[in-house]
Structure 1
């Protein structure tokens, strides 16, 4: 490329380092970069030569960029020079307005995005190259016109000579000369003459090429047939009616080319010269698209920033609200002389708000695992009826406080599925909580299970505010709520339904929602495959039977079932009857006492929350009033959630076990077998307490978890560090090692590896605040418990260790 063809670009900055960066960014073989470190140098450069674009720093030593731009725009030669301002300040609204007021074309922040700056400079460089090319073409055309003018002069001289000899041809030559002059006076690229009748009388070769036809084909056609489009007709019409030159741009027939037309009316017709501006229009359109894309990207970034702020605000609110209640009640209870009733209320409030925080953290962690694809499933064969009944019992106190009714309609037969008990309970609770959240006082929530030939269904319907049709497609999206006010009115982060969808699909099912519109309620339907059709694990029952030594024997045992849920009574009765037990049902505590006065049973399974006489009062009447001791009849409490407070209260009242309502049929049968009084032929072997090494550095957690473990009958050796635990450990000394993962110095994982190196079959449990993932690499007897511990999970772990330690 010759030096004359290079594009001049002026970059102005008082910092040599910044100039070097700009030269590096704008390094292009087609550019000539001229640098200036002050306004005076920039003005001298502008006086010396012309530039395609000026890249100007606002902060200069002698004058600022705004003032320099104003001086440039006042000078006629540089008034149309494009200026791109650079600034290192983010808060420059006033500078931005002043800059654009001086005629700047853009305004960029330092550090400059190289791609954006190159793209913007390239647009003006290309425009400069085309402008210079057009100028050269115009100069050539002007020379051609001058040459033709000289030829015309010679022709006129010849005509004057010939006129004296050929008078009869003078008028024809003058007419032709006028037509030629009218056409030549307006020629640039394409040229044609439209006669008075609207037909084309003449077209040059360039014009024919631009219109995509031959010149002889165009001659005689009407202009509307050649150009098409109402824009051309309107432009030609303005030229005819106004009697003066008219210019316009329009898309030619076929829609591929844009033409710029200049129309000059005369006595002989309309002279039209035109040229192709398609490239310029496309460049303009591309620039508009780039601007629109930039604005859209900026809007998306602003939206994402607002969404992040709203999410953080919601998380802060949801965490701080229960935390404030906990801290407030701790302050109240720390005062001396607190009344017992106030103490009880405070403990309940602390437990309730701690549970709310735990649910929120679980939702966030669950969503994190969903996004990362690291969810783990602990699948077993479960009765969906028990899961649903337990969730309904747990939600009933909240419903009553909101003056809502919960109606439970369970399928008469067991609804067995393969599922993760905790996650399936989470699905039911999330849907119940969602239904109650959007149902006003006086409404009701209907929960039902249905067995279909192709699978089973859980349906939760409410009489609440319903769902707008336009929101239904986004109902199960993360952080999705129908309107911005929903968060402040109902609370939550909009994660519950998204988690439900993921967990249901993880079980091979699907979830859907239906609503007839606002204020007309909603129905959520969860469809799961039946146990026999489940894709999760067809052999889990066999594996469980091998691990526990087969099906527990309960044939001939007499069992009393007590529950106010008739459907659940029928389901549990059928499960136990099918295994050979003799079952009698009672729908209230009063009815159970009446039966116990007349009959004797081996085991009683009783719900805790019943209207009238509850499970606690019932067991107290059985043990104290009827004088039926645990050695004569074992008893297990059945509740929705086996929390520590529930278990402690149940054992204190007289029960020997506390079961989750969603317990599997095998666990239900095993509990009956273990609680039944020993038969004469059976000689039970005494169980020695399990010895456990427990490692935890947090004093509060160490005390709390140690108490739970001792309640399970474990004899503990407690250590604060992994080093102390390793010193206390010896193969065969302990039946179980429980260690926190995050310990000072040596971690719990390093401790586990050191212990397993000495005893590869050692039972070892990690205590962690996060899901640890696959533990298969550690060994077959390595487990993990997620803080805070679920009591039912801890009980199962201890039972597994005891079963493994039994001889034979």
Structure 2
């Protein structure tokens, strides 16, 4: 327990000594003063807990001294005990309380009474100071806690703002991802549909072209009849070109990727592109000569450029400029593009442009803003399919009234797999008569295609037999029958042509097999890289060339 200061004020030294003797048991600091002036000196220098004042003093009585003490701000609440050697009347007591005394002690002093009263006020002083200290600490802690709460609240507000920002960002990213997923699913669904339609359409064209070509050979010399048949053949061939564009969009065409110098490729086709767009349109180019080679099918890339330039021409009805640029694509790649090195090829025009809704549908097959008879709506679809099948991507940006830019991201030719090209012999090569009739098994689930192929083979002098499925073909061989050559469709229900070829290779290693299909779909058929393939619709000349190649040993069975 810390001792407190107790001030004893009396003009008589003997009385001060008696007070000191009585109060020394309290173990407090006792300060003595023999006059009001001396008392004030102690009060101004020292913090006093309790004051004992004699009522009767010669210079200044106790009432006046207490009144002066109470005027000091620091001692307005300090306990003051009057000590009186005479019996005070009641008015004097009331005067003492009025000026600020809290108690009276009469002489003769009872030591226990005086000690008890001083002890009470000393303890009260200590507890008051402890309470003040606790209040100060509490206020400091409250202030500190308030500051911490304010800091936490500010931090919480920042976290909430950051969380809201991240939620908004993730929501936008999710919406963009869903939109991209929806677009990809939509195009994939359309791709499957168009690929299937093109496959079936190729089978129809196969029957139409084969029958028309055979019919043309059998018609009498009649110019009008020959002109009609020729017109029908040309229309069917246009249908073939149409299916090729559909297959390009569906990513089911057979590509021949190779290292392509785009600078040289564009130089080779620049005259053709200039004729396609006409003299009113200026062609500008920004293609560095040291551009890295592309990994792409050069013929399909030329066709894609032609489609893009024709679209640009149609957007520049009053003339203008088409700009083709190429550069290494180092940043701002389209979403979903795999890692690696790419070249960005862009074709831009300053024509009428497209709105956002038109841009979102521009790559869909058969969607066109051109007038009737001015386009099929397959140009951008074909470009989109080429980019996707080549491992790249396409991006279309357009502003209404300012023009359009179509950008192709194509991979750099670092490593690539060489693809067996389809057989495309010159159409003008005359057919050679068969040295001997060959026994040929034609396997196709489409009766029209099967009939047309058989008719072409019979016209060439061979002995074809038919099978409507792979299982029927296997039964043919299981019955002990044989043949010199098998021509099989690939896409058949049950067992595919590729699976049939595997079975036949294991049983008849030397048997030549030609695999035909309405679209290229052999990527999953490992081990068929050396098998001769033929793309539908094929002509009699192409069939003869494929047979010659198969029978000459150029494409041997594994």
TM-score (norm 2): 0.46
Q: Which has the higher contact order (CA 8 A, sep 6+)?
A: 2
* Bigger Rg over Cα: 2
TM-score (norm 1): 0.34
